[in-house]
Structure 1
């Protein structure tokens, strides 16, 4: 794969046309003009820039908004919190976005500022994030269906596909984007690109909508340690009578979580409507991080899927000292929060809602942060203390020393 699409996740298509915008000795080079990637994967957008040797680069920013003169840095945008990173190599400006969402589809631009001027690389790179879908065609033969795995943007280099029938991988299929099978109204199918099975399509019926199938509301969830989480799925059985439903986690067979000692007193199965099951886990611990699956059983059929379920990541919240006096509220994953809450000496700081906070230069304080909506789950306190040194009987105040409170 070329530099323009060297992604640790799946890049489906890239137009390998180098785009260079330069002005005197300033310039930005994008090694792709358009990229198509699958929802849930990781994409790398290749980029390099140049500037005169006599100037110093003060700031690098990737952005998507239309304001080229006052752009919002993706790193400070809550929508991308914990999902983006920039290359730190000299004159490289590669952007990496993880856990892609369809809402990430946009035109991405790079801008850098020096001590003499600023420069934005136009027109940017168009990223399209697509979800796979199975299309069913029964027009050729009355008892056969031809299935195609479709996306909203063109695939590259003839990738190999994986097909699933009733949640189980079809071992005889040849890796094509299409698959044909005998029509059975009880069967459901889904597809994925090989190597990226976590981004499978929803399961669909080949005839009608009453086949055996399970689909998850979210493929990945991030939750804060100590909080509660709901993991939901919709399901349908071809037979009208379902004998049992349960949830289990990967790596532990198919044991019902309600019978697992690790979850004793902490799990609840909620089924307030037919065809929807919700697993609620309370008082989350980091050891609860796992992939969770739903199954149901009838008199003649049991859904035991090899499809990916919902991956739960449980994170704590920490305050990290960044550059200068900047404090960052960090987690191991992104719980899809829109803003943050900062506390100074236990009191909420008005107007502080971003993931970073600039500590003032004054007396000793303790700081903590929380995610909006999870205010009961603060990070551990971080304290700052002025260090005092005496020189010729004069008091000298030096850089603030930030440490975890005892």
Structure 2
């Protein structure tokens, strides 16, 4: 029996050794799965054990699939890891490492391996640590309408192992100083100002997600009309009106309206007027339309300048004109700006006979005016002015002499004095006493009312006083019988 039992003892002993050895060898990781943000640093916590009496000769980390019989590569000797991998353990029981600036390519399973001074005394900790490197992405609706509520989400391909606080940016500027664990951004009643490029980040990390455009649509607002050329517009010029508005999507439908007209002076964003005329003057509006609404612009005024036209002359008074009356000719024209310079001409005469909008005509003839402004001039048709001589009992036509005005005064005095003398003579005759000595030698026969009818010319008293001398007397006295007054005639 002893012989039979002998072979069994070594087997039991070996099993006991294996059981003891398995218990003394081992590697422990915490955690087994790590989700890290791109460009961040990752710490892989690790501890290991081995039987007493053994001495550690080498410790290192490796990755990928471990093939039996092949030596696993040491990451500290790999150029892609050598500058980023730092061993934090004590090479006795702690095998913790830090991997910095992780990239998406660093997503692998990592193992710790060590060897001892005993032949065959080496160990690899399987399964290892699974590292997943993730990027951040903003999830957002592509297009929203002004007034809607919008929710943006900062997403990653795995749940980050580290505690994460998210930060939001619009057009690379932080939206708020408040930090929140929530990876969502809520925009209530979105406005057109909320449009832009949104990105997110985790507080404490430099990595920022790629930006996503938030497109906010809204109807046209603030349409404006621009005029080209922007300066003074003169009849005959080419003028362009351009309607611009703020809208999203951009307005593609434009209509043009003039003043109080209800129907549309054209369509399209650009409205051209070639060879503009005064008829095109007035106020213009444009209407801008997109799928969300429409709006009218404020009115702009086109003020078209043009030279005088429709120049005409009116006569005042319009009836018969008698010598001595005041005759006024008035020049009228249509122009922009109004004509301020007027010239008057008499037909068949080259030089102007007057200036100003009104002109006093002192003689018969055909007259016309010429109106001027800075853009040109135009003449009127000629009008005929005819001055008639008067034909009344007490109207005297006087030839143009240097003493004409004086003679008019004499005529007026004569008419008044003649009536006064006639009344005096009649009164004296009726009141005379026939017995008086003064009238004894006088012939009392009926006589003319004119006291000078019976007197010879030589006995007419000479005087220079107009109040005592009648016109007929003056015509025969030596003092007034001059060539200057030979043109006088009594009607």
Please classify the TM superposition score into its range, dividing by the shorter chain length.
Answer: 0.3 to 0.5
For CA contacts below 8 A with separation 6 or more, give which structure has more relative contact order: 1
Q: TM-score, normalised on structure 1?
A: 0.43
Q: TM-score, normalised on structure 2?
A: 0.36
Which structure has the larger Rg over C-alpha atoms?
A: 2
Structure number having the greater strand percentage: 1
